[in-house]
A and B are shown apart, each in its own frame.
Chain A
C-alpha cells in the first residue's frame, strides 16, 4: 500500500492543502450553523421576554466566540499556499478569484467590526431589537461571506464566464454573473451551508445531551435540543434536496467524478445505484468485469439521479476514457489529442509573438482557440490519468450519504423524546447525541473529499491539471512545511478543544 503512494512534490502540495482545508473546515461549518441558532434563541427571547432564552443565547454565544477566535484567519493560510505551492494556478486564476475573494475580505471585515461587536458587547447597552438585528446580521453575513469562496470553488469545477488570454496566461472574467450564478456555484453554496446548519444543530444537541447525561442545566439543555432539532431537521431535508441537485449537475458537468463516486466502469441505461458496496481493488480501467465484491443496488436509481429518467444512459469510466460513439461520449483519448494540439499551438503562438511574426501568430491562435476547451488534456501522460482515485471517492460518498440519512432520524428522536419529557431517561439516545457531533464532522469532511478528490487530476476542470498548476519547488520544501503545519494545527486544535470544554463545563450564567 505504501509503495502505491506517490510522494512527488505535487502530492505533498495536495496533502498540505487538504490538511489546511480540512482543519479550516472544522471551524467554518460551526460558525455558519451556530450563528443562525444564536439568532433563533435570541428571537425567542425578544418575542417572549423570557430571561431563560437570554441565558441560553449568551451561553451558546460564548461557545460561538471560542470557535470563531480559534478558526479566524485559518483560511488565510490557504491563500498563502496558493501563492507558494500553486503559483501557476494562482497566476492563471487571479483575475477570476480576485473579485470574489476581495469582496469576501471587505464584507467580512465590516461585518466583524460592526455587528460582531454589538453582538458581544451590546447586551444592555443597545436596544433589544438592535441587538437581535445584529445577531441576525452576523448569521446572514457569515453565510454570505462563505458564498464568495464557494463561488470560486464552483468555478474550478465548472469554469464559465471567462476567456483565456494567451499573452498574459490568465483566465480573464467576461461575465461576473455567469461565474456567480453557475449551477456548480449555487450547488456548492446551498449544499455547504445547509450541511453546516446540520453541524451547528449537532453541536447544540451534543453539548445539551452531555448536560442531560450529567444532570446539569436541564431546562437550558432541553430547550436548546428542541430548537436545534427542528433546525437540524429542516436543514437535513434541504441537504438532501441540494445534494440531489448537486449530483445531477455533477453528472452533467463532471461525469468522470460521478463514475468514480459510483465505481461505475461500464456505462449503462437503466443504471443501478450502489447503496452499499465493497469495490474490487483489482479492477482496472478497460476491464468489463463486475467492479464490486459486494453490492446492494437500487435499480434505475443512478440513471434517474444523473438524467432524471430511469432509462437514461450513465457513462462509466471506460466510456469516458476510451469513448463510446454509440452514446455520443467523446473519450479522453480524443481529448488528449486535441489538448496536445492546443499546447503546441500555444507554444507556436508564443514563439511567433516573440519574433513579431503576426501571420504565424494569428494562425496559431486560431487553431489554439479550436482546441482550447481541451487544453488541460494536453498535459496528461495517458488517458487513464484523467481517472480520479475511485476507492476514496466511492467510500467517502457512502460515508457522507449514510450519515446524512442518519442525522434526520436522530433529530426526530431527540425532538419527540424531549417534547414528551422523557429524554432524560433515554441515556442511549443522549450518548448517541454526543457521539453524533463527531459523525457530523466526519460526514462534512467526507463531502469535501468527494468534491475535491473526485475532480482529480484537475485544478481547473479540463483546463489545468494539478501537475501543471504547481510551483517549481522541491519535494523536500513542501514536505517540510506540511509537517510544520501538521504540528501547528494539532497544537491549535488541542487549544480549541481545551478552551471549548472548559467553557462548556462552566455552563451558562447563574440565574
Chain B
C-alpha cells in the first residue's frame, strides 16, 4: 500500500511537463518568502520582547497611552 503510494507520487513527478516549470516557480517563491520572513518581515513583538507577559505589557501600554499621533 505505502509502496504503491510512493510509486504513484514518484512517477507522477517524473512524468510532469508543465509541472516542472511550475515547481521551479513554487520553490523560488518559497525561498523568497523564507528570506522575507526572517529578514524583512520579522514578527515585531517576538523580535523586541522575550516573553508573552512583556508583549502583553507593551500592547496594553499602546492602548492606554493612547496614540494621539495617528500613526505619523
List chain A positions with a Cβ less than 8 A from chain B.
6, 8-11, 13, 62, 65-66, 69-70, 72-73, 76-77, 80-81, 83-85, 87-88, 90-92, 117, 120-122, 125, 166-170, 343, 346-347, 350, 378-379, 381, 466-468, 470-473, 475, 481, 484, 488, 492, 495, 499, 503
- Are B66 and A379 in contact (CB-based, < 8 A)? yes
A169 touches which one: B9, B60, B70 (CB < 8 A)?
A: B60
Alpha-carbon gap, A472 to B67, bound state (A): 10
Alpha-carbon gap, A378 to B21, bound state (A): 53
- Are B56 and A170 in contact (CB-based, < 8 A)? yes
B63 touches which one: A6, A468, A503 (CB < 8 A)?
A: A468
A62-B18, A88-B59, A467-B67 are known; give 7 further A-B pairs, CB within 8 A.
A66-B18, A84-B43, A85-B44, A122-B8, A343-B63, A381-B70, A467-B71
Alpha-carbon gap, A488 to B31, bound state (A): 13
- Are A81 and B71 in contact (CB-based, < 8 A)? no
Query: Please, could you name 14 A-B residue pairs with CB atoms under 8 Å apart, sorted by A?
Result: A8-B72, A9-B71, A73-B26, A76-B33, A77-B41, A87-B44, A90-B43, A91-B59, A122-B12, A169-B60, A350-B60, A472-B62, A488-B32, A499-B25
Closest Cβ–Cβ distance, residue A84 to chain B (whole Å): 4
- Are A120 and B19 in contact (CB-based, < 8 A)? yes
- Are A80 and B26 in contact (CB-based, < 8 A)? no
- Residues of B1-35 contacting chain A, CB below 8 A: 8-9, 11-13, 15, 18-19, 21-23, 25-26, 29-30, 32-33
Closest Cβ–Cβ distance, residue A112 to chain B (whole Å): 11
- Are A8 and B66 in contact (CB-based, < 8 A)? no
Alpha-carbon gap, A65 to B32, bound state (A): 21
Which residues of chain A have C-beta atoms less than 8 A from B68's C-beta? 381
Would A9 and B25 be within 8 Å (CB), given that A120-B12, A120-B19, A167-B56 are in contact?
A: no
- Are A84 and B42 in contact (CB-based, < 8 A)? yes
Closest Cβ–Cβ distance, residue B35 to chain A (whole Å): 11
Closest Cβ–Cβ distance, residue B69 to chain A (whole Å): 8
Which residues of chain A have C-beta atoms less than 8 A from B66's C-beta? 343, 378-379, 468
Most-contacted residue by chain A among B18, B26, B55, B71 (CB, 10 A): B71
Closest Cβ–Cβ distance, residue A455 to chain B (whole Å): 17
List chain B positions with a Cβ less than 8 A from chain A.
8-9, 11-13, 15, 18-19, 21-23, 25-26, 29-30, 32-33, 36-37, 40-46, 52, 55-56, 59-60, 62-68, 70-72
Alpha-carbon gap, A65 to B67, bound state (A): 46
Alpha-carbon gap, A468 to B43, bound state (A): 17
Closest Cβ–Cβ distance, residue A234 to chain B (whole Å): 31
**Which residue of chain A has the shortest Cβ distance to B46 in the bound complex?**
A83
Closest Cβ–Cβ distance, residue B20 to chain A (whole Å): 11
**Which residue of chain B has the shortest Cβ distance to A477 in the bound complex?**
B40
Which residues of chain B have C-beta atoms less than 8 A from A85's C-beta? 44
Which residues of chain B have C-beta atoms less than 8 A from A6's C-beta? 72
- Are A65 and B45 in contact (CB-based, < 8 A)? no
Alpha-carbon gap, A7 to B69, bound state (A): 13
A65 touches which one: B22, B29, B59, B63 (CB < 8 A)?
A: B22
B11 touches which one: A11, A91, A121 (CB < 8 A)?
A: A121
- Are A69 and B25 in contact (CB-based, < 8 A)? yes
A495 touches which one: B8, B25, B33, B43 (CB < 8 A)?
A: B25
Alpha-carbon gap, A11 to B70, bound state (A): 10
Closest Cβ–Cβ distance, residue A327 to chain B (whole Å): 31
Alpha-carbon gap, A2 to B55, bound state (A): 37
Which residues of chain A have C-beta atoms less than 8 A from B64's C-beta? 343, 346-347, 350
Alpha-carbon gap, A72 to B45, bound state (A): 27
Alpha-carbon gap, A412 to B51, bound state (A): 60
- Are A169 and B22 in contact (CB-based, < 8 A)? no
Which residues of chain A have C-beta atoms less than 8 A from B11's C-beta? 121, 125
Which residues of chain A have C-beta atoms less than 8 A from B71's C-beta? 8-11, 13, 466-467, 470
Alpha-carbon gap, A69 to B63, bound state (A): 41
Most-contacted residue by chain A among B15, B66, B68 (CB, 10 A): B66
Alpha-carbon gap, A36 to B65, bound state (A): 50
Which residues of chain B have C-beta atoms less than 8 A from A473's C-beta? 44
A72 touches which one: B9, B26, B63 (CB < 8 A)?
A: B26
Closest Cβ–Cβ distance, residue B46 to chain A (whole Å): 7
